[in-house]
Amino acid sequence: MFMHDKKLQYNAKPDQPDPLMARRLQEILGGQWGEMSVMNMYLFQGWNARGNEKYKDLLLDTATEEIGHVEMIATMIAQLLEGAPLATQDKAVQSDPALAAVMGGMNPQHAIVNGLGAAPKDSNGNAWTSNYIVSSGNLLADMRMNVTAESQGRLQVARLYEMTHDKGVKDMLGFLLARDTQHQLQWIEAIKELEEKEGVVVPGQVPSSYEVSDVSHTLFNFSAGEESQKVVEDKTAKDGQKFIYTGKPEAMGQKPILKPVTKDVYNTSAMDLF
Amino acid sequence: MFMHDKKLQYNAKPDQPDPLMARRLQEILGGQWGEMSVMNMYLFQGWNARGNEKYKDLLLDTATEEIGHVEMIATMIAQLLEGAPLATQDKAVQSDPALAAVMGGMNPQHAIVNGLGAAPKDSNGNAWTSNYIVSSGNLLADMRMNVTAESQGRLQVARLYEMTHDKGVKDMLGFLLARDTQHQLQWIEAIKELEEKEGVVVPGQVPSSYEVSDVSHTLFNFSAGEESQKVVEDKTAKDGQKFIYTGKPEAMGQKPILKPVTKDVYNTSAMDLF
Amino acid sequence: MFMHDKKLQYNAKPDQPDPLMARRLQEILGGQWGEMSVMNMYLFQGWNARGNEKYKDLLLDTATEEIGHVEMIATMIAQLLEGAPLATQDKAVQSDPALAAVMGGMNPQHAIVNGLGAAPKDSNGNAWTSNYIVSSGNLLADMRMNVTAESQGRLQVARLYEMTHDKGVKDMLGFLLARDTQHQLQWIEAIKELEEKEGVVVPGQVPSSYEVSDVSHTLFNFSAGEESQKVVEDKTAKDGQKFIYTGKPEAMGQKPILKPVTKDVYNTSAMDLF
Amino acid sequence: MFMHDKKLQYNAKPDQPDPLMARRLQEILGGQWGEMSVMNMYLFQGWNARGNEKYKDLLLDTATEEIGHVEMIATMIAQLLEGAPLATQDKAVQSDPALAAVMGGMNPQHAIVNGLGAAPKDSNGNAWTSNYIVSSGNLLADMRMNVTAESQGRLQVARLYEMTHDKGVKDMLGFLLARDTQHQLQWIEAIKELEEKEGVVVPGQVPSSYEVSDVSHTLFNFSAGEESQKVVEDKTAKDGQKFIYTGKPEAMGQKPILKPVTKDVYNTSAMDLF
Amino acid sequence: MFMHDKKLQYNAKPDQPDPLMARRLQEILGGQWGEMSVMNMYLFQGWNARGNEKYKDLLLDTATEEIGHVEMIATMIAQLLEGAPLATQDKAVQSDPALAAVMGGMNPQHAIVNGLGAAPKDSNGNAWTSNYIVSSGNLLADMRMNVTAESQGRLQVARLYEMTHDKGVKDMLGFLLARDTQHQLQWIEAIKELEEKEGVVVPGQVPSSYEVSDVSHTLFNFSAGEESQKVVEDKTAKDGQKFIYTGKPEAMGQKPILKPVTKDVYNTSAMDLF
Amino acid sequence: MFMHDKKLQYNAKPDQPDPLMARRLQEILGGQWGEMSVMNMYLFQGWNARGNEKYKDLLLDTATEEIGHVEMIATMIAQLLEGAPLATQDKAVQSDPALAAVMGGMNPQHAIVNGLGAAPKDSNGNAWTSNYIVSSGNLLADMRMNVTAESQGRLQVARLYEMTHDKGVKDMLGFLLARDTQHQLQWIEAIKELEEKEGVVVPGQVPSSYEVSDVSHTLFNFSAGEESQKVVEDKTAKDGQKFIYTGKPEAMGQKPILKPVTKDVYNTSAMDLF
């Protein structure tokens, strides 16, 4: 069960409106790596956790914080949109390149659909989709996704920080940079502990007899040129075994031959004889 | 530029048809973490790499191999579909629970749309989408996604391995388990090296003055209960700083007040006075 | 800012596992009218509200409750999935129609992707998308969507109630039925008040001179047969004007003629002369 | 069965081309609340209606009209696109802010994909999807969606009306404003009648014993602050019962505990003991 | 402008309910190649046609007929769903394999979402999307899509015809088979005429100087093995030029080198020197 | 199994950066008719081919080439993005309309998400989806789709060729024009041969007794006006039968009546008697 505090977790107030920046900030709200993604991903991972209460709690702590981050960015966007130009044929556009850039670049749905409010979409107006997230039941696999999400997310925040001179926007982005630092580090900590318990290769419990083990530590060189060899040459993989490099990989399987199917499928008849 | 060898990289031949298993294998072909995802993701990351030739090459080596994995699984699915039952009212169904399970559980599009061939879709018939993948220009961020993809992918392969007794299917899955082991380990190796060069927190070059640094190593306890504290208590994060735990986080921002917008937006008027 | 209480808002515990019912319950979790939709919709409407604090608060009250409903249903699904059959060729299936129904009917992603946990998807495995929701900036327009969402949602809950004999599942669904009753009624109350202030037709402030007013209260009979006339015959619309019925509507516009475009667009040339 | 009259239902002819306005008009053609949505929604609701012939007829009358509205807007867009600038490096752009706004703001797919014709997409180029619509079999639930669609749609038309000075465009939008007035009013009329027959709360036939009735008329205050209380305080809901306000809601359910699943699922083992 | 006749274009009445067949028929209603696709595609192509009135008329004739085909299939599905089993734990399932097949195989949304009516979705419950269709402004390009759509559509109808023994369903499918025959043939006729006017290769008006003409009639053998040579060997292409076969294609471009970008993008630094 | 050559198939090097053109080129990379579509479509058709080795080989030859085309365009886009302007409030924009056009028109995700690299998306930022492609098992049906894809694709390339003055970009597009010429012609050649073997109407093997044959060669005039008659008048269809034209088509089916369903579905009760 959840409760809401009307105050924001941190400041979210721009110095002045900027509808182009409003559009861009949508990326970290409703984009692939935006706050809606981490909020929903951590919620589902937390709710689905079976045992492992300290991780379940960590996931729900962080998920709950992320709802508040969506709130901050949505609030920021709504303020950046105040004063957006709306009419396409306004005379002002005819002599003002900066206004022309805004007219061309702002998201038309911000005005038409959302009444100058934030949308649950990315910077190109694509709807958020749960295709962006995962909850697999395997915590190590999921913690790797989580550190990815915080890395991609912080990268986007850093880029956005460079795209504006508005101190209010930068203040909020600086807060998000810091929280993404913590979130990267806490998932890295969890990964370290889980790898010690379950092994480096996910999932750790697969019997070794299942694997075709002679290709489990081999880099095959399918792309002409040998530069990739440097990554594994003379190195021991994190699971303790040596990497192998194969410069000229051979096909191990056969040329596949599929049988014709029955006539009621109406496939093309096999015509190999004509 | 690419070339094709007609032979498969490894065996992909089932002992006998199994349309339910065909449906399930679609997950690792066209699902979120299937081979189409890693194939396309590594291709784009490789093509977009600016410098860093050994990683660019490693990405393209692996991408090229993954095209061949899509090929193997597609070939397997086409064979598992041979002999699928098609007519809903066949009398055989009325006395055979196993046939009833197949009739209810197989993917109808395998017959109607694909003529008993593989589809670029997941096990529920959802089309593959590039929303599943990323190419960010930051190799450390992307390598974390790559090790995630190989972890989630190998997890699914392991589950599928347990879902069948068909030796031919298990043989192919055993090969994929081994390749996913290598791929996890090679991306982990790259991450290690990149972290040494660029720092643990992505992106590494963000000036510390940008961050609201007093919250960059703090775990806020937004979920009642203190279990999560165990993950960070008395621990040093991978970047060398100590974690902080805050049991009762306070809101640092204000209650947001949005201004009314102009009348041509046709929003509800502010009615706070009635 | 949000806080989480580890206890659920209400009971969510089934008497026994039922993987088919787990699949069906996904509809009210991640479907078009599921709890993820109302949760996200009310959050965005609340955050975007400009003034009108009592409605903003009502939206955020209800949104916050809905996060807890997602939590309850996700928890229920995870328990219903315990004990799901996984291997397609299990001998048990060959003599047990009930097991065959489960084998055919359960969602394969529940096992392969989610490790027997809930997914942010609907009962056919479609990802949740923000295409399902709206935040328009006009509260009356949005309150009409909200009462729709609670009506469609409660309808689905009622149907699901009839689809199971499990007392634990029914207990949770009975709670949701009651909450949807309240939510329908509170949005109806808000609509009543907003209509009194802004008028029945949304948006209320459009100058009457904008409308082609002679067709603003006319039912055109475009479908052969006169049954629809009964709906408006001799009736006064809610805005106080009389309905008009036109049995044989005439086209008021012209046959459209589009001009050819320049050659650099490579459209088909107009060939009307040959 | 349907028939087509080559004349448009109403005028759809702009005074002059305006590719930015063409992009914006796509929202009411192929957006969430555009004419494609109401056309398809009313068709399916009409075709699926079981009995209730006057509503079935009303749905099909209105659906058939909406096909003609899609036709009008598509025709308008094709004309607004005539004369669109295509080459990115044209010298004219270098000194003309208005042209720069068009170059930046027009939809590139209008030229590349559609040859300066209308697309079945919204103002950001998102494909129309049937996720926008519903046909539930319950007419009261669906009529509520219908009045929502006409409200959101008319709101967008009103905003677009303010975004242009083109008299031809305004003429067509004024016609659509009027038709949306009628459509809102006719669905409101149907709702009134259906509520009288089936009750206010959808679905009306649910036995009261199903509901956890002590929470069916209670507003829970999950968001700090008491403003929402004003909406329900001392009020009787439309179904005749009094609203209740609970300022400090308590969790009624338990802290959920999920059991571990079998090893063949390869979830993380429960590690609560270390 | 459109008009509706309450009678169906042709019979759509099954002998008896069959919820599995209802699910399968969704493919030709709301699938990639279903009637919603051809209906919407022909409408947009017709509305966007600039001149060429006989083709514009042909497109709108056929589009208008297809609306009636959607109507027929929707009506059929609604009837096939009557009597669908709903409760998962019904005792009848435990002894009846045929019922188990239905329980496992029917679309749960048909009951939960649509109240036993048709949905605007495919046989796996995927929403119809305008991504399936095209209107390019070039009639020859589009007529090729149209003959494709009628070919894929008729193929699916033929497969469905084999999947049932219900005479009523077969009667309707036999009608659709015939109409798809006509539609294939009429688009082929249009293609023939357009090719005579504009040339075989689309778009016909591209100046030959634009093309790198030495590779415009060459089959490159990128896949090991020479079987494909048989398709072009000693053959003259439809545009009158001879095909060329190149057994060992060479790369004509360079190894690409991308430059590093500025630091504010936060990409990985080029590390080729370490 | 596949192999990669580091050299590009052909030149892909622009004279100078142009972020607007970069956005536009995304259409032929990741759009409906872009290279990702043909690459994936030919791969799946080739892998699913049952017998017919020369076509299987032709499909895989062409598919393998298309992977290299995706590579060329991705490489071109990455170079066109170098030097893109990022900060919204840069003073330079205030006096430079050309820069304003770029600022408004470039894809924000190119900077925020992709670090100035190519994305697997179209020119409006929509993710590539396998909904764009087909592999049906019937080669004639699929070859018709293939010639469509090459026609739509070449049309888009021709339009893009006119949109830029950059010689490097034009050189690459000129190569693609030529390859699309070959690909159109080779699929036309295959269609010719397949039609000779299997008949013109797909699928060729449907028994004539299945069809309601009296409507299999009739053009029904559902759109007022007789222009379409010219397309078929006095013509023999490609299958050798005469076309028929029916100016006033009559409904052949009945007015549909759907039965009410059981109460547990909670549909609206039939109220035809009040």
pLDDT tens digits, chain F, 274 residues: what are they?
A: 999 999 999 999 999 999 999 999 999 999 999 999 999 999 999 999 998 999 999 999 999 999 999 999 999 999 999 988 888 777 788 889 989 999 999 999 999 999 999 999 999 999 999 999 999 999 999 999 999 999 999 999 999 999 999 999 999 999 999 999 999 999 999 999 999 999 999 999 999 999 999 999 999 999 999 999 999 999 999 999 999 999 999 999 999 999 999 999 999 987 664 4
**Closest of F22, F35, F266 to residue F164, by C-alpha:** F22
Whether pLDDT at D108 is above 90? yes
Distance CA A172, CA A180 (A): 12
- List the 87-106 stretch of C: residues with Cβ below 8 A of A: none
Q: Tell whether A151 is covered by a domain.
A: yes
**Dihedrals φ, ψ of B199, to 5°?**
95, 165
Which subunits sit against B, judged by 3+ Cβ pairs under 8 A? A, C, D, E, F
Please name the residue of chain B whose CA is at the shortest distance from the CA of residue C197: B271
Please state, in angstroms and rounded to a whole number, the distance separating the CA atoms of residues B25 and B47.
Answer: 29
Domain end position, chosen among D177, D198, D219: D198
* E269 in a structural domain: no
Average pLDDT score over residue span D151-170: 97
CA distance B233 to F75: 48
Residue A220 and residue A123 share a domain: no
DSSP strands (E only) in D142-252: 218-220, 244-246
CA dihedral of residues A219, A221, A223, A225 (deg, nearest 10): 120
**What per-residue confidence (pLDDT) applies to D244?**
97
Residues B113 and B68 both lie in one domain: yes
Report the relative pairing of strands F2-4 and C2-4 from DSSP bridges: unpaired
Residue E233 tokens, joined: 């060997």
Q: What is the dihedral of CA E34, E37, E38, E40, to 10 degrees?
A: 150
Give the helix ranges, DSSP H, for chain E: 19-30, 35-48, 53-80, 97-105, 108-112, 139-162, 167-198, 229-232
- 3-class DSSP assignment, residue A225: coil
Q: How far is CA B13 from CA A174, A210, E67, F43, F271, in A?
A: 55, 17, 45, 19, 59
The DSSP annotation for B49-78 comes to --S-HHHHHHHHHHHHHHHHHHHHHHHHHH
pLDDT of residue C272: 65
Q: Give chain A's residues under pLDDT 50.
A: 273-274
Determine, yes or no, domain membership for F255: no
CATH number at residue A220: 3.30.1530.10
Question: Chain F: residue nearest C163 by CA?
Answer: F264
Q: Contact at 8 Å (CB) between C126 and B123?
A: no
Residues C52 and C75 in one domain: yes
The radius of gyration computed from the CA coordinates of chain B, to the nearest angstrom, equals 26
Residues of B in contact with A138 (CB under 8 A): 151, 155
- For chain A, percent helix, then strand, then coil, each to nearest 5? 55, 5, 40
A235: left (phi over 0), alpha (psi -120 to 50) or beta: beta
- Name chain E contacts of C121, Cβ cutoff 8 Å: none
Tell me the C-alpha distance between E130 and D121, whole Å: 7
| B220 membership: H or E segment, kind and range | strand B218-220
Q: With contact defined as beta carbons under 8 Å apart, do B62 and B56 qualify? A: no
Q: Same domain for F188 and F234?
A: no
E47 and E97 share a domain? yes
Instruction: Write the secondary structure of chain C as one string of H (helix), E (strand) and C (coil).
Output: CEEECCCCCCCCCCCCCCHHHHHHHHHHHHCCCCHHHHHHHHHHHHHHCCCCHHHHHHHHHHHHHHHHHHHHHHHHHHHHCCCCCCCCCCHHHHHCHHHHHHHHHCCHHHHHCCCCCCCCECCCCCECEHHHCCCCCCHHHHHHHHHHHHHHHHHHHHHHHHCCCCHHHHHHHHHHHHHHHHHHHHHHHHHHHHHHHHCCCCCCCCCHHHCCHHHCCEEECCECCCCCHHHHCCCECCCCCECEEECCCCCCCCCCCCCCCCHHHCCCCCCCCC
Smallest CA–CA distance from A74 into chain C, residue: C47
The phi-psi region of residue C90 (left if phi > 0; otherwise alpha if psi is between -120 and 50; otherwise beta) is beta
Cβ-proximal residues to F200 (8 Å cutoff; 6+ apart), any chain = E184, E185, E188, F238, F239
Is the domain of E54 the same as that of E77? yes
The SS3 call for residue B4 is: strand
Contacts of A212 (CB under 8 A, 6+ apart): B10, B171, B174, B175, B177, B178
Which ipTM score applies to this complex? 0.96
Give chains near F: 3+ CB pairs under 8 A. A, B, C, D, E
Shortest Cα distance, chain D CAs vs residue E225, angstroms? 37
Is D18's CB within 8 Å of A103's CB?
no
Low-confidence ranges of chain C (pLDDT < 50): 273-274
**A104 and A34 in one domain?**
yes
Q: Which chain B residues have a beta carbon less than 8 Å from that of C4?
A: 222-224
Give the number of domains in chain D. 2
Using the Cβ of E159 and the Cβ atoms of chain A, whether some distance falls under 8 Å is answered with yes
In a shared domain, residues A74 and A153:
yes
**E52–C268 CB contact, under 8 Å:** yes
Residues of C in contact with E112 (CB under 8 A): 24, 27, 31, 123, 156, 159-160
Helix axes D167-198, D53-80, angle to 10 degrees: 160
Domain assignment of residue A121, given as a range = 19-198
CATH number at residue C118: 1.20.1260.10
D 5-34 residues with CB < 8 A to A: 18, 20-21, 23-24, 27, 31-33
Domain-located, residue C4 = no
- pLDDT (tens, 9 = 90+) of chain B, 274 residues, equals 999 999 999 999 999 999 999 999 999 999 999 999 999 999 999 999 998 999 999 999 999 999 999 999 999 999 999 988 888 777 788 889 989 999 999 999 999 999 999 999 999 999 999 999 999 999 999 999 999 999 999 999 999 999 999 999 999 999 999 999 999 999 999 999 999 999 999 999 999 999 999 999 999 999 999 999 999 999 999 999 999 999 999 999 999 999 999 999 999 987 664 4
Token pair recorded at residue A118: 């934030």
Burial class (CB in 10 A: 0-12, 13-18, 19+), A89: middle
| Partners of residue B111 in chain A, C-beta under 8 Å | 265
Please indicate, yes or no, whether residues C140 and C228 belong to a single structural domain of this protein. Answer: no
Confirm or reject contact between C141 and chain D (CB < 8 A). yes
Instruction: Measure A36 CA to nearest chain C CA, in Å.
Output: 9
What's the pLDDT at A188? Answer: 98
Percent of chain F whose predicted confidence (pLDDT) is above 90:
90
Task: Supply the pLDDT for residue F85.
Answer: 84
Q: Which of D164, D198, D232 is the last residue of a domain?
A: D198
Give the other-Cβ count within 10 Å of A56's Cβ.
Answer: 25
Q: Please give the structure tokens belonging to residue F80.
A: 């066109």
Kindly give the pairing relationship between strand D2-4 and strand E2-4.
antiparallel
pLDDT tens by residue, C131-152: 999 999 999 999 999 999 999 9
Rounded to whole angstroms, the Cα distance separating E214 from D210 reads: 76
Per DSSP, E131 falls in state G
Interchain contact, A100 vs F96, CB within 8 Å: no
Contact D120 E133 (CB under 8 A): yes
Question: Is A263 inside a domain boundary?
Answer: no
The verdict on B76 and B28 lying in the same domain is yes
Q: Are residues C193 and C226 in the same domain?
A: no
Residue where a domain stops, chosen among F163, F198, F233 = F198
CB of F20 closer than 8 Å to CB of F13: no
Strands C2-4 and A2-4: antiparallel
CA E8 to each of CA D67, E71, E119, E157, F254: distance values in angstroms, whole numbers, following the listed order: 18, 7, 19, 19, 6
pTM for this structure?
A: 0.97
Chain C residues inside the 8 Å CB shell of D238: 185, 188-189, 192
Q: Burial of B122 by CB count in 10 Å (0-12 exposed, 13-18 middle, 19+ buried)? A: buried
Do C266 and E205 make contact, defined as CB atoms within 8 angstroms?
yes
Q: Which residues of B touch E274 (CB under 8 A)?
A: 197
- Under DSSP, is residue E5 helix (H, G, I), strand (E, B) or coil? coil
CA-wise closest residue to F119 among A30, B144, F166, F111: F111
Judged by CB atoms closer than 8 Å, whether chains meet at F198 and A269 is answered as yes
* Residues F173/F186, Cβ–Cβ less than 8 Å: no
Report whether the peptide linkage leading into residue E203 is cis, meaning its omega lies within 30 degrees of zero: yes
Chain A stretch 205-224, residues whose beta carbon is closer than 8 A to a beta carbon of chain D: 205-206
The partner residue sitting opposite A94, judged by closest CB among D97, D163, D258, is D97
Inter-chain residue contact D1 with E5, CB threshold 8 Å: yes
Mean per-residue pLDDT, D177-198: 97
Interface test with A, best of E264, E269, E271 (most A CBs within 10 A): E264
| CA dist., res. F130 & res. B109, Å (int) | 14
Is E272 inside any structural domain?
Answer: no
What is the predicted pLDDT for the residue at B274?
Answer: 41
Residue E218, burial from CB neighbour count under 10 angstroms (0-12, 13-18, 19+)? middle
pLDDT, residue D93, reads: 82
Burial of C15 (C-beta count, 10 Å sphere; 0-12/13-18/19+): middle
CB-based burial, D111-123: b 16+ in 10 Å, e otherwise: bbbbbbbbbbbbb
In this structure, is residue F33 part of a structural domain? yes
Q: Are F92 and F99 in contact (CB under 8 A)?
A: yes
Q: Please choose, from the candidates A146, A138, A164, the residue with its C-alpha nearest in 3D space to the C-alpha of residue A39.
A: A146
Same domain? For D227 and D104 the reply is no
Token code pair at residue E242: 């001879």
CB pairs under 8 A between B and F: 150
pLDDT above 90 covers a percentage of chain D that reads 90
Token pair of B235, please?
A: 């621990």
pLDDT digit of tens for each residue in chain E (274 aa)? Answer: 999 999 999 999 999 999 999 999 999 999 999 999 999 999 999 999 998 999 999 999 999 999 999 999 999 999 999 988 888 777 788 889 989 999 999 999 999 999 999 999 999 999 999 999 999 999 999 999 999 999 999 999 999 999 999 999 999 999 999 999 999 999 999 999 999 999 999 999 999 999 999 999 999 999 999 999 999 999 999 999 999 999 999 999 999 999 999 999 999 987 664 4
Classify residue A11: in a domain, yes or no: no
Q: Give the one of E159, E162, E264 whose C-beta lies nearest to A162's C-beta.
A: E264
Q: Does D251 touch chain B (CB under 8 A)?
A: no
D52·F272 Cβ contact <8 A:
yes
- F210-229 burial, b at 16+ Cβ within 10 Å, e below that, comes to bbbeebbbbbbbbbbbebbb
Give me the residue from C2, C30, C40 closest to A120, CB to CB: C40
